[in-house]
Chain A
Amino acid sequence: MDLFLKNIWHRLSKVVTLAIALSIGLAKANTKEINFNQDIRPILSEQCFQCHGPDAATRKAGLRLDTRDGATHQNNGVAAIDLSNLVNSEFLVRITSTDPDSKMPPPESKRKLSKEQIQLLQQWIAEGAEYEQHWAFKQPIRPTLPTLSSKNKNWIHNAIDYFVSAKHTEEGLTPSPESDRATLIRRVSIDLTGIPPTPKQLESFISDTNPQSYERAVDRLLESPHYGERWGRHWLDAARYADSDGYSHDAARSIWPYRDWVIEALNNDLPFNHFIIQQLAGDMLPNATLDQRIATGFHRNTQINTEGGVDREQFRIDSIYDRIATTGEVMFGLTFGCAQCHDHKYDPISQVEYYRLFAFFNNADEPRIEAPTDEILFQREIREVKIKQLESRISLLTNNQTQLKSLKTELANFKKTQPKAPTTLVMAKRNKPRVTHRFIQGDFTRPAEEVQPDTPAILHPLLKQKKDRLGFAQWVANQNNPLLARVAVNRIWQHLFGKGIVQTENDFGSQGTPPTHPKLLDWLAVEFMENGWSQKNILRLLVNSATYKQTSLINNEIDQDPTNKWISRQARLRLDAELIRDVALNASGLLSPKMGGPGVFPPQPEGCMDLGQHRKTWSASNGEDRYRRAVYTYRWRNTPHPALTVFDAPDGLSACTRRIRSNTPLQALTMMNDPAFIEIAMSLSKRLITEASSTSERIRLGFQLCLNRNPNLEELHILTKLVEQQSKEFTEHTNESNALVEKATAIGQIPQITDNKAEFSAWTMVARILLNLDETITRE
């Protein structure tokens, strides 16, 4: 008997014994290998941990089922799982009982085990009730690449594809073909920079037959400064960035230097571990630079309640709660916040451990500092020189009163015009440390025992000598952290494929969904850490994979993978709120490439600022600032820009690690009617008229600018008909074209080369239609 058969025989005999023991038919027995983390932990977590889990305070009957010790421990002479008599364990008696008084889970809990779940639990216990540490707490180890058939090997571009292809084979799926060149370049441009290719770039990419052309395009995109704007915004979501205090007054705050720091750090590909350390404790690094201090703005993005009558301590503590929750979600994929009032119900984090984390954050001051730009420093230096000059001249002049007076005036004026530096919010080490207590039920008026800073026992150990915020930061960003790299690569994956390998991107704990491709996740995490924590390298790898390049077309008739769990195609993703605007601005030629600086005020409808306690003004920026990328739009927490909110931009009230993509009539109204979008449509109309002459050329150009492809005959026909009809109607109703042209003239979007008002008006309608198309606001 060869080894394979032997194994089968071994398994079968085990199953037969089991089946007899449990008096269930062989046909029904599960012949699948039990994997605790895949098969058992999710059941226990969902059905049992609420009462028999890590939370000691609410644990019923002293029984805990999240550890093997707990489950097999004798309790009043009975062990839930009896190792000496497995199949007769009380656990199995209870879950199969029909007596409502002894049945588990109890009927009043509204929880119920399915037949399949009971069978799995029976098999698991019969096979020895082996536990396994939750996958996410185990250090990732780089797995070997799966072996593939030669046919599948042809599809492979890089390591990623090995793992994806192996799953395809297991599930009987075939990958989708590679996308056409136009789709590919639009997809990767939008994913990496948020800005679609120009018609020229598009054409040269399509006609470039060099096999390296795609990789070269990827390299070019990763070097674009717009890369930092695109990926910086993803991080700013998680950092709950906004430009105001929130709560009642929602006062303006200056923290945009932090936003710019993020964009620059990503553009410089600052290694992700340093990226984390600097944001948590950059101020405590030896000889901390201004940039490293600005980075600590990450945890200053909490809201501040300045309304009358507040207890400042209460809100200081609330902001620490927010910092812990955010750190947990963003850097660990763990819900630390659940342990604020009681031990965590599902994951092994106790309430005391929560307050040990609290202690790291408790000893920080929260100042505002000057953050002068290089330009300001330069200006100041020049002025300093001039001031010194004037001062020395004054000191030499003693008798010429007239000249002395004029020099003194000049000096005073000079000092007055010294350029002011912007300020930003940072963390600073507190000299007089605070004592941290556990708070009973998370209520800060009920302090219990004192606690010292420390990290949860379930995670990698903290070096003893560094129990301060910097030590904590280094602990978070340590290679031994089993979660940080996994969570980070999973989010990157999510941005490129629409969902993560772990779909619950902010919960890698026992209640989260297990990874669809655990080996791939670990391979990527290790690759990330071993390759200098370079986000650009991981992105390069991902977008160069065959997996990424697949088409996103859905074949409804033979779809074997309707939820695309196994990534047998790419995903069609509606663009993020900011990109909806950026892409339209770009198509129209209005987009300003200017980077950084204080938030700007693109137009928004009247009255949007009335919805908070104080009516604030929103006077639309003019000139270049009117057309900046939306990552630079000023973000009021209480009265957010409606065109961002309507497309699901996060509110900055708490960390957002995944945006929802809704699809609503309010979005349609925004894109069709918002004066800001009409301004863009007028500019696009002007561009079409100016840059192309015949109707079909203009339509073609419009397609290239908005959809990055050429129209087909049918599309050409539909729009040609529309232009003709609209031209005719606008010619007949001059009042409508006059009104439209008057408006366009007022905002400077009227073409020079034509005085045909009906023509301009008709093309504005075409431009508006193109900007509204689903394909324009979707990355396919």
Chain B
Amino acid sequence: MNLQQSTRRHFFSRCSIGLGSIALSTLINKDNVSAQDSNPFSPNTPHYLPKAKNVIYMFMGGGPSQLELYDWKPELAKQHGNDIPDEFVKGKRFAFMNSSFKQNNKLLGPIKKFNQHGQSGMWFSENIPNIAKIADEITMFRTCKTNLFNHAPAKLFMNTGTGIFGRPSMGSWITYGIGSESQSLPGFVVLHSGPRGPRGGAANWASGFLPTTYQGVPLRGSGDPILNLANPVGVNRKRQRDSIDVINQLNLKRLLATGDPEINTRIASYEMAYRMQSSAPELMDISQESKATLDLYGVNSGKPSFANNCLLARRLVQRGTRFVQLYHTNWDSHGGPGETLTKDFDKVTRDVDQASAALIKDLKAHGMLEDTLVIWGGEFGRTPMSEARQTKGRNHHIDAFTMWMAGGGIKPGNIVGTTDEFGFGAIDQECHVHDLHATILHLLGLDHKQLTFRFQGRDFRLTDVHGEVIQNAII
């Protein structure tokens, strides 16, 4: 048995200190199939045949108003200005209950005009004409429900299935569950656009108690896409190669002297880092794309934008990245300055409409839509009642809001759930965040009840003790 083999044998039998490296090896060491089998932490092959291999999640930070986008409520328009009947709001809690913006019980009719689109006759507001055109590709979930009504906690809930800190995010669970196909890029990548970063920051893509290898890697829209990707001053590619050769040579000597397989992993890490230095800039170089593609997304070359990020998401998935999350802010339409349902809402819909639809079309054109699950939605929705600040806006709402998904085994041209006449709550088929999580994992071939990680004596899941797969959303 050579050293390589013998260290591998022990590599996977070590438990506590080699954990991270074991995880990494499964991400980068694809030749090592038999060793993976004996590794308790190795990504499992999916529990059943997956429909999707990758996920692109367009996270609409701030809580988009479903009542100005997807959930057409003629009765709400009719009753504009009337009080919402007590039975809807009795005992309910809302954000800003104790603030100067007293909760207002007056119904606010939809601000935007709606039309029907596609074979299924789905309603879309005029603000999103491009998304309307992909009606026949998507399943619209009109009755999404979450538990927390403040931004940062609700983002945490949407990402980790709980408001408690220290739990892994969905992207971490998924890369833990099925690994990554990329040899030279991270498995879980986060991009952001809009006036600010997502509230909660790093907590949204944290790996919690899972090995840190699974945490999301933020990719930057300008400068080095990955931190410290560029060689330092005075170092060209050859010099970097020569230096890594010496580092690895000396590390190998130490490996022979100590027998510590962790050094093996370190050598592999330096090799992968070197590969990343060329693959990441190549990834970011969208000038390789045709003008037609750039126009499809509305990419304004050289300017970081949501459109750029959508195109990058496709390129990432093409190169083997498993989970891409795009944050775009700001959808928080309370009615105050910078958050009106008119000018500001129009701006944010303009930011995302074309590129969201383009991503679906482009994935389809590349034959990638069928195994890429695309998700679009925020951390919650908005109330049917108005919130009167400087202008009329809407408060945070958790009882019913709209998200949509496409590709990756999602039924096209499909609507799940119905809300009441005001769009306040579900009257048919509530889709709780836990159910959405269960469904997403299911499409990736993962049983949400079996994808567990033992921490503090308990098997934790993304869906905690909840979650049902939403069967009528999938093919």
Contact A653 B212 (CB under 8 A): no
Question: Which residue in B14, B198, B270 is a CB contact (below 8 Å) of A668?
Answer: B270
Q: Which residues of A contact B164 (CB under 8 A)?
A: 321, 654
Closest chain A CB from B53 CB (angstroms): 22
Cα distance A375–B35 in the bound complex, in angstroms: 60
- Whether, in the assembled complex, A715 has its beta carbon less than 8 Å from a beta carbon of chain B, the answer is yes
Contact A660 B19 (CB under 8 A): yes
Closest chain B CB from A614 CB (angstroms): 7
Closest chain A CB from B437 CB (angstroms): 19
- Whether, in the assembled complex, A175 has its beta carbon less than 8 Å from a beta carbon of chain B, the answer is no
A657-675 with Cβ < 8 A to chain B: 658, 660-670, 672-675
- Whether, in the assembled complex, A640 has its beta carbon less than 8 Å from a beta carbon of chain B, the answer is yes
Question: Which residue in A512, A564, A664, A774 is a CB contact (below 8 Å) of B254?
Answer: A774
Contact B243 A672 (CB under 8 A): yes
- Whether, in the assembled complex, A761 has its beta carbon less than 8 Å from a beta carbon of chain B, the answer is yes
- Whether, in the assembled complex, A612 has its beta carbon less than 8 Å from a beta carbon of chain B, the answer is yes
Contact A605 B250 (CB under 8 A): no
Residue-wise, chain B 203-230 has the 8 Å CB interface mask toward A (1 for contact) of: 1001000011100011010111011111
- Whether, in the assembled complex, A553 has its beta carbon less than 8 Å from a beta carbon of chain B, the answer is yes
Q: Which residues of A contact B125 (CB under 8 A)?
A: none
Cα distance A345–B459 in the bound complex, in angstroms: 12
Q: Contacts A613-B196, A667-B269, A670-B227 given: A769-B456 contact, CB under 8 Å? A: no
A219-248 with Cβ < 8 A to chain B: 246-248
Closest chain B CB from A610 CB (angstroms): 5
Closest chain B CB from A96 CB (angstroms): 25
Q: Which residues of A contact B396 (CB under 8 A)?
A: 309
Q: Contacts A507-B456, A555-B259 given: A611-B227 contact, CB under 8 Å? A: no
Cβ-closest chain B residue relative to A735:
B234
Residue-wise, chain B 142-176 has the 8 Å CB interface mask toward A (1 for contact) of: 00000001111100000000011110000000000
Q: Which residues of B contact A363 (CB under 8 A)?
A: none
Of the listed stretches A117-125, A431-439, A497-505, name the one at the interface; the rest are far from the partner chain. A497-505
**Secondary structure call for the A interface:** loop
Residue-wise, chain B 258-279 has the 8 Å CB interface mask toward A (1 for contact) of: 1111110110011011001100
Residue-wise, chain A 311-332 has the 8 Å CB interface mask toward B (1 for contact) of: 1100000100110000001000
- Whether, in the assembled complex, A98 has its beta carbon less than 8 Å from a beta carbon of chain B, the answer is no
Q: Contacts A248-B150, A509-B457 given: A669-B93 contact, CB under 8 Å? A: no
Closest chain B CB from A296 CB (angstroms): 21
Closest chain B CB from A580 CB (angstroms): 13
Q: Contacts A346-B457, A572-B262 given: A309-B99 contact, CB under 8 Å? A: yes
Closest chain A CB from B215 CB (angstroms): 8
- Whether, in the assembled complex, A556 has its beta carbon less than 8 Å from a beta carbon of chain B, the answer is yes
Q: Which residues of B contact A660 (CB under 8 A)?
A: 19-20, 211-212
Cα distance A642–B227 in the bound complex, in angstroms: 8
- Whether, in the assembled complex, A736 has its beta carbon less than 8 Å from a beta carbon of chain B, the answer is yes
Q: Which residues of A contact B200 (CB under 8 A)?
A: 247-248, 612-613, 638
- Whether, in the assembled complex, B247 has its beta carbon less than 8 Å from a beta carbon of chain A, the answer is yes
Of the listed stretches B5-13, B77-85, B308-316, name the one at the interface; the rest are far from the partner chain. B5-13
Q: Contacts A498-B17, A774-B266 given: A662-B213 contact, CB under 8 Å? A: yes
- Whether, in the assembled complex, A387 has its beta carbon less than 8 Å from a beta carbon of chain B, the answer is no
Cα distance A338–B196 in the bound complex, in angstroms: 36
- Whether, in the assembled complex, A764 has its beta carbon less than 8 Å from a beta carbon of chain B, the answer is yes
- Whether, in the assembled complex, A552 has its beta carbon less than 8 Å from a beta carbon of chain B, the answer is yes
Closest chain A CB from B197 CB (angstroms): 4
- Whether, in the assembled complex, B121 has its beta carbon less than 8 Å from a beta carbon of chain A, the answer is no
- Whether, in the assembled complex, B16 has its beta carbon less than 8 Å from a beta carbon of chain A, the answer is yes
Cβ-closest chain A residue relative to B217:
A666
- Whether, in the assembled complex, B95 has its beta carbon less than 8 Å from a beta carbon of chain A, the answer is yes
Contact B457 A606 (CB under 8 A): no
Q: Which residues of B contact A670 (CB under 8 A)?
A: 227-228
B113-157 with Cβ < 8 A to chain A: 149-153
Q: Which residues of A contact B250 (CB under 8 A)?
A: 715, 718, 769, 773
Contact A563 B150 (CB under 8 A): no
B320-369 with Cβ < 8 A to chain A: 334
Q: Which residues of B contact A640 (CB under 8 A)?
A: 202
Q: Which residues of B contact A310 (CB under 8 A)?
A: 95, 150
- Whether, in the assembled complex, B239 has its beta carbon less than 8 Å from a beta carbon of chain A, the answer is yes
Contact B227 A499 (CB under 8 A): no
Cα distance A114–B276 in the bound complex, in angstroms: 46
Contact B270 A663 (CB under 8 A): no
Cα distance A665–B192 in the bound complex, in angstroms: 22
Assign chain A's interface to a size class: 35 or more
Cα distance A670–B276 in the bound complex, in angstroms: 13
Contact B16 A664 (CB under 8 A): no
Question: Which residue in B199, B213, B254 is a CB contact (below 8 Å) of A612?
Answer: B199
Residue from B3, B242, B246, B272 having most chain A Cβ neighbours under 10 A:
B246
Residue from B94, B249, B456 having most chain A Cβ neighbours under 10 A:
B456
Residue from B99, B164, B249 having most chain A Cβ neighbours under 10 A:
B164
- Whether, in the assembled complex, A743 has its beta carbon less than 8 Å from a beta carbon of chain B, the answer is yes
- Whether, in the assembled complex, A624 has its beta carbon less than 8 Å from a beta carbon of chain B, the answer is no
Contact A613 B198 (CB under 8 A): yes
Q: Which residues of B contact A250 (CB under 8 A)?
A: 201
Closest chain B CB from A763 CB (angstroms): 12
Q: Contacts A512-B457, A729-B239 given: A661-B10 contact, CB under 8 Å? A: no
- Whether, in the assembled complex, B32 has its beta carbon less than 8 Å from a beta carbon of chain A, the answer is no
Cα distance A84–B262 in the bound complex, in angstroms: 56
Contact B96 A308 (CB under 8 A): yes
Contact B14 A562 (CB under 8 A): yes
Closest chain A CB from B22 CB (angstroms): 9
Cα distance A63–B95 in the bound complex, in angstroms: 43
Pull 18 A–B residue pairs with CB atoms less than 8 Å apart, ordered by A: A247-B153, A305-B150, A308-B99, A308-B334, A322-B165, A503-B15, A506-B456, A552-B258, A612-B199, A612-B200, A653-B166, A661-B18, A664-B20, A666-B226, A672-B270, A730-B234, A743-B234, A780-B258
Known A309-B96, A573-B17, A780-B258; 4 more pairs at CB < 8 Å: A638-B200, A663-B262, A672-B240, A729-B239
8 smallest A-B Cβ distances: which pairs?
Answer: A511-B457, A638-B201, A662-B20, A740-B234, A309-B95, A554-B259, A654-B166, A668-B273
Residues of chain A at the chain B interface (Cβ within 8 Å): 110, 246-250, 303, 305, 307-312, 318, 321-322, 329, 335, 338, 345-346, 445, 498-499, 503-504, 506-507, 509-512, 552-557, 559, 562-564, 571-574, 605-608, 610-615, 637-640, 642, 645, 648, 651, 653-654, 658, 660-670, 672-675, 678, 714-715, 718-719, 722, 725-726, 729-730, 736-737, 739-740, 743, 761, 764-765, 768-769, 772-775, 778, 780
Residues of chain B at the chain A interface (Cβ within 8 Å): 1, 3, 6-7, 9-10, 13-21, 23-24, 28, 93-99, 149-153, 163-166, 186, 192, 196-203, 206, 211-213, 217-218, 220, 222-224, 226-236, 239-240, 242-244, 246-247, 249-251, 253-254, 257-263, 265-266, 269-270, 272-273, 276-277, 334, 395-396, 449-450, 456-458
